[in-house]
Amino acid sequence: MGLISRTLSVKFGKMTNHNSTASPLGLLPIFKPRGMTSKDVSRLLWRWGLRAKMGHVGTLDPGADGVLPVLLGKATSLQDYLLEAPKAYSFTVIFGYETDSLDADGLVVRHAPFAQITREHLLQAVAACGGEQLQVPPAYSAVKFRGQPLYKLARQGKASAALCRDLSRTVQIYSLELEEFTLGRARFSLRCSKGTYVRVIARELAAYVGSCATVVELRRTCSSGISLSQCFALSCIEAALQSGSFDAERFIHPIEKLSLGLITLQAADHRASQRLLGGQELSYCHENFVGIDGKNSDNNCQALPAANETILLLRESGTALGLGVVLRRHADGCTVRMKRSLGYEQQ
């Protein structure tokens, strides 16, 4: 039975499973195929026996494929930090027509000439689309207005152009490159900030060269610091779970290895770890923490964030302990406390 057929059987039928994984924790990098929603992936993992709270970092449209980071257990509370990491995409457009959804799943709403487009003209368009910009989300998007996703309003004919403009957001285009070009068709690579709609970038590129376009292929190549080469096919995950050979060390990235963008402090010994778990405030000194440079230090707070900012706390073994906060900064150091446990209580 194919993957899409299996997905449908999960939705509408019952899939039995005899193996389960106890208390998984961390990030499971999945290659999401086309034809599935991000939630479909979570449902499949659960049906196959991955018993854990789950959350994905950023959704992927059913028509797109690529990197889908799935957070497991207490790691789900780190979603907001991982969302801040840049994302990368590869996308292909066909010039000359545009759909209402700006992708191949929509209805054609306009045509425009495209024979005049040259590689040089497209390179100029690419150069003009970089940097910070105010982006108007497409009507068929997950952006919410008064609790309703725009795509639901669009289906009801209520997602007007004015409403979309009101929901504009500032995004950052770090890099945009033209990879391939033939008459009427082009492939691009993009590195951007969270909240960027690739379909809108394609529309802007087409407008620059005097045409319109539709995204026909979209692949996310990097998200949350995870690249395509690090992702597992769903068939691989299924085989491991169904056979009882699912190895967390092989499949799951531990919290301490994730691209959270947080300053990290490591407890000096088991006693310090337990005091943090107990909610005690600890001063940053050699008795409590390993120095940022990997050596014990009585005073090495220069690289710490300001008071009230979040940090990642590690056990003496180097595994994740929890999220902490810098309570106070002072002349001879600082004071920290844990605010949320992330790791296993016993290791």
Active site positions, annotated = 61
The β-bridge relationship of strands 213-223 and 226-227 is antiparallel
Distance of CA 58 to the CA centre of its chain: 4
Contact between 143 and 137 (Cβ < 8 Å)? yes
Rounded CA-CA distance 7/170 in Å is: 36
Cβ of 35: how many Cβ atoms within 10 Å?
A: 14
Structure-token pair, residue 224: 């949350």
DSSP structural state of residue 103: B
Write out the H or E segment, with its range, that includes residue 10.
helix 3-12
Contact between 344 and 256 (Cβ < 8 Å)? no
Q: Which residues contact 196 (CB under 8 A, 6 or more apart)?
A: 87, 135, 171, 172, 173, 190
DSSP structural state of residue 113: -
- What angle, 0 to 180 degrees and rounded to 10, lies between the N-to-C axes of helices 3-12 and 38-47? 80
Nearest Cα to Cα of residue 321 among 259, 261, 278: 278
Looking at the DSSP bridge assignments, the partners of residue 90 are 189, 219
Nearest Cα to Cα of residue 206 among 117, 91, 319, 339: 117
For 168, phi and psi rounded to 5 degrees? -60, 150
Contact between 206 and 213 (Cβ < 8 Å)? yes
DSSP string covering 154-194: HHTT---HHHHHHT-EEEEEEEEEEEEEETTEEEEEEEE-T
The β-bridge relationship of strands 232-233 and 26-32 is parallel
Structure-token pair, residue 303: 């690289």
